[in-house]
Structure 1
């Protein structure tokens, strides 16, 4: 069973203003569940985790949860939530009361647009603790220079599960490895952390990347987290800036190289199921 732990869906008129930035023309359009389903079928992916798409408002959560309720392949939703807000627990309860609310498995905020020490703030830490108490994962979409504060937050809040998106956005295009590698090892030392092997092609040269460019970062992640805390994510449709869905999957398979079958099953499915507590709301299990 292959699980894609990270993808998006959006409509062009849905308030995703960041799509207006230059260079994003290939993804400046609507992406629907039907389009996703075609990619999943072609790659053999059975289930997915749908992640907020940078709209940064509560109304998007309702849209994503509804899509999940209507799309059997979507096993979980990571919605947007501001951890510094005063009503984190109330917002979580409101999300869970929405149609599809039983698919809510985590939340994230656009931490990558905040200061380097954002995750050290007391108000943010309080909100993260509330998320842990609610049984939700916090997805870390952070820059490489924010990995230190992410590690400190994970150590301070061992009751919260943290999932690192896109391996912390290493600067693959520039070939920067050593500083990022040390920061990844520091984060991975906290046992309540996981990471997604996702978003790497868009951190490389969009037009000239090769698997050889990605391999050092994949290997460092495997060494730091181990297969039981790593998961495959396509980052579709953002990945279309550099590669197709199938090319992303194939590149990760090649970058990982030969794997024992239990490790392959973990990275391509079992870790995501365990980290997010994925299940079919109707049966309690994922087929």
Structure 2
């Protein structure tokens, strides 16, 4: 059994997605659970975590209504709102497991370290919710400041910090080590084929997968497909098999951690499923 700890569902006809420009035209359409089931039907994926893709509470409400295999939702709330705790209470749902903000798209690279954002993430921690870090190198220091400011929070680094695999990223290992030194951060091994670009088959994707797991350890690493964004590079089955092949030397227990146990512990300990 595999938990896909990072994928998306969306309907651009229902709400705008500002990042969906012509560069992602093939995925600028509705993706729903039927599409997800079709994409995973030949895999061992039995449960999934769906992740927000726009700063819109309406999308979060829609995601929370999705049926199996969706088991957990990483949604969105305005972390800077003075009444963020009340907004989280209103959003509370057995399957709401975390919150994410697309900090990589903020004009201010230090957005995550702003006092109002730190206060909002503290409210997440108080509510028992995880915060997903969507950051590149530009936001790295702000992410470290946030994690250090909320030591009782639980953080998940999306897409292994989004290394620039296509052009090479000599600073990536150091950034990963910085975050791995914080025990309240785990790493999502996801999105790496997309980061490698159209020529991902000729890029060292496997090396980045292995390095991410080696840096954080299997007990602090989890698999995510990043589907359907990942379809810009490969189908769901190829993303999964590429990750499995890169980690073929893991023991059975270590493999179980990456592909199931870490996501279960971090995201789903208190979540309930819905069919």
TM-score range, shorter chain: over 0.9
Q: 1:236 to 1:282 in 2, by over 3 A?
A: closer
Residue aligning to 2:138: 145
| Coordinate RMSD, CA, aligned | 1.6
Residue aligning to 2:196: 204
Unaligned runs of 5+ in 2: none
1:172-191 maps to which residues of 2 (within 5 A)? 172-176=165-169, 178-191=170-183
- Note if contact 2:68-2:273 (Cα within 8 Å) is conserved in structure 1: no
1:54-203 maps to which residues of 2 (within 5 A)? 54=54, 56-67=55-66, 71-96=67-92, 101-114=93-106, 115-176=108-169, 178-203=170-195
User: C-alpha displacement at 1:186, in angstroms?
Assistant: 0.3
- Note if contact 1:143-1:168 (Cα within 8 Å) is conserved in structure 2: yes
Unaligned runs of 5+ in 1: none
- Note if contact 2:57-2:76 (Cα within 8 Å) is conserved in structure 1: yes
| TM, length-normalised to structure 1 | 0.91
- Give deviations 1:57-110, integer Å, cap 9, x for gaps: 11111111111xxx12111000012222212211111111xxxx2110000111
Give the Cα separation in 1 of the matches to 2:70 and 2:272. 11
1:8-23 maps to which residues of 2 (within 5 A)? 8-18=8-18, 20-23=20-23
User: C-alpha displacement at 1:117, in angstroms?
Assistant: 1.4
- Note if contact 2:190-2:226 (Cα within 8 Å) is conserved in structure 1: yes
User: C-alpha displacement at 1:171, in angstroms?
Assistant: 0.4
